[in-house]
């Protein structure tokens, strides 16, 4: 099978340009919503409405989050529908009907609401009961949450969205598990997940921790890629475990979280007063707090992505060295670029701000030079 060209520049560039605009619009819309919800008194009104009817702080918080989250979703819905449904169909990437998209959307909303409520409830419980030491406890809670999510993802979260089953191609399964053994990574098995009913995009992953770790291969990857190419894609994922990239990112994330929480504790008395509140634990200041954390996240994003790109370069080199198949790995990258309409040459500012992987054309050229 001859790999598609890296740059069908017209479609890939047009798709990417629309995506970049949507990213900026989504960011601007989110920030504008937070400012409006706080400054126009909607946050105070929502908190007051629930506090007049309920007495328990956690329940009041849940009611407030339902109003806040519902309002945010409705405001951003037109942009979301265009970006996740119409645009994907316009460029031939999605195979979902609108009804299918709505069903998936409801699942995503439910999962996001449950996880988001748990995180916010935990944070505000710490703000109320440990006002002096909450940054340390919040950091520990975030690390624990991240580890638990990584462990339960393949067994609880993934089946909500995709049907998974053991890979029936026993020869390929043995080949991929043998690759894992060469790297010293244990895996429960190789599983196929059905991505093709929704999109033409392809993917593979090594998901889970400990006893839940397994190799996941999409049906689209199995249909369009050679065994050598699939092996190269998995070798890249194995590199992240071989070099402990996940642990390193978790540690860096913990440090960044602690710095953000500590800076919030130090500065919050000043900006909380600007919205007429006395404490960060007052839910009426939630939009302001989210605006603050969003700003900190944007400041740290370029550094986080730069570190991630270094890890991705290391994983690419490892994949070629491990499989000793430069043409196969470069071919896999070409196919992924064509299927996903990846922009081969994104603008530098986009790479710097948003890309946690190096541009695909650079990755292919580097693989071919090895």
Give the pLDDT confidence score for residue 324 in this predicted structure.
Answer: 87
- For 333-345, write each residue's pLDDT tens digit: 999 999 899 999 9
What gap in Å lies between CA 24 and CA 253, rounded to an integer?
24
Once rounded to an integer, what is the mean pLDDT over residues 323-336? Answer: 90
Give the tokens for residue 37: 């919800």
SS3 226: coil
> CB burial class (10 A; 0-12, 13-18, 19+) of residue 160?
exposed
The residues near 244 (Cβ < 8 Å, ≥ 6 apart) are none
pTM of the model: 0.89
Please give the average per-residue pLDDT across 218-242, as a whole number: 93
Give the pLDDT mean for 305-329: 93
Locate 277 and state its tokens.
């509140």
Q: What is the pLDDT of residue 49?
A: 96
The counts of H helices and E strands in the chain are: 15, 4
Between residues 2 and 151, which one has the greater pLDDT?
151
Averaged over 306-321, what is the pLDDT? Answer: 95
Residue that wins the pLDDT comparison between 207 and 47: 47
DSSP 118-159: HHHHHHHHHHHH-TTTHHHHHHHHHHHHHHHHHHHIIIIIHH
**CB contact at 8 A, 37 and 71:** yes
Question: Does pLDDT of 101 surpass 70?
Answer: yes
Angle at 299 between CA 255 and CA 245, to 5 degrees: 45
Contact 174, 233 (CB under 8 A): no
Residue 164 in contact with residue 139, Cβ under 8 Å?
no
Which residue ranges make up each domain of the chain? 9-137+250-369
Quote the percentage of the chain above a pLDDT of 70.
98
Structure tokens at 348: 């530098």
Beta bridge partners of 94: 199
Q: What is the pLDDT of residue 97?
A: 93
pLDDT in tens, 193-216: 999 989 999 888 888 887 888 999
How far, in Å, CA of 241 to CA of 184, rounded? 9
* Least confident window among 9-13, 329-333, 358-362: 9-13
Q: Give the integer Cα–Cα distance in Å for 16 and 91.
A: 11
Q: What is the pLDDT of residue 9?
A: 58
Q: What's the mean per-residue pLDDT of the chain?
A: 92
Q: 240-280: per-residue pLDDT in tens?
A: 999 999 999 999 999 999 999 999 999 998 888 888 888 89
The model's pLDDT over 131-147, given as tens digits with 9 standing for 90+, comes to 999 999 999 999 999 99
Q: Which two tokens stand for residue 1?
A: 């099978």
pLDDT at 93 over 60: yes
């Amino acid at each position: 099978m001859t790999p598609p060209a890296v740059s069908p520049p017209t479609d890939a560039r047009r798709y990417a340009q629309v995506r970049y605009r949507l990213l900026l619009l989504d960011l601007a819309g989110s920030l504008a919503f937070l400012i409006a919800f706080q400054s126009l008194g909607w946050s105070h009104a929502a908190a007051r409405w629930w506090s007049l009817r309920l007495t328990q702080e956690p329940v009041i918080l849940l009611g407030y989050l339902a109003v806040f989250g519902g309002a945010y979703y409705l405001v951003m819905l037109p942009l979301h529908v265009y970006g996740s449904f119409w645009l994907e169909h316009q460029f031939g990437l999605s195979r979902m009907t609108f009804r299918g998209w709505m069903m998936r959307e409801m699942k995503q909303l439910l999962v996001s609401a449950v996880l988001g409520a748990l995180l916010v409830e935990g944070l505000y419980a710490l703000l109320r009961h440990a006002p002096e030491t909450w940054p340390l406890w919040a950091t520990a809670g975030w690390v624990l949450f991240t580890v638990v999510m990584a462990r339960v993802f393949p067994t609880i979260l993934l089946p909500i969205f995709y049907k998974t089953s053991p890979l029936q191609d026993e020869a390929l399964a043995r080949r991929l598990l043998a690759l894992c053994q060469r790297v010293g990574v244990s895996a429960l098995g190789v599983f196929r997940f059905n991505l093709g009913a929704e999109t033409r995009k392809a993917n593979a992953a090594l998901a889970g921790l400990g006893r839940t770790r397994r190799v996941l291969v999409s049906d689209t990857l199995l249909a369009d890629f050679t065994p050598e190419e699939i092996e190269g894609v998995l070798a890249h994922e194995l590199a992240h475990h071989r070099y402990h990239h996940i642990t390193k990112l978790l540690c860096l994330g913990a440090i960044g979280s602690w710095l953000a929480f500590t800076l919030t504790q130090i500065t919050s008395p000043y900006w909380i007063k600007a919205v007429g509140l006395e404490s960060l634990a007052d839910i009426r200041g939630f939009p302001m707090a989210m605006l603050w954390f969003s700003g900190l996240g944007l400041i740290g994003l370029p550094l986080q992505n730069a570190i991630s790109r270094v890890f991705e370069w290391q994983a690419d080199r490892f994949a070629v060295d491990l499989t000793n198949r430069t043409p196969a790995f470069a071919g896999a990258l070409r196919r992924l670029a064509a299927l996903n309409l990846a922009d081969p040459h994104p603008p530098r500012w986009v790479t710097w701000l948003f890309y946690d992987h190096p541009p695909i054309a650079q990755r292919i050229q580097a693989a071919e030079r090895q």
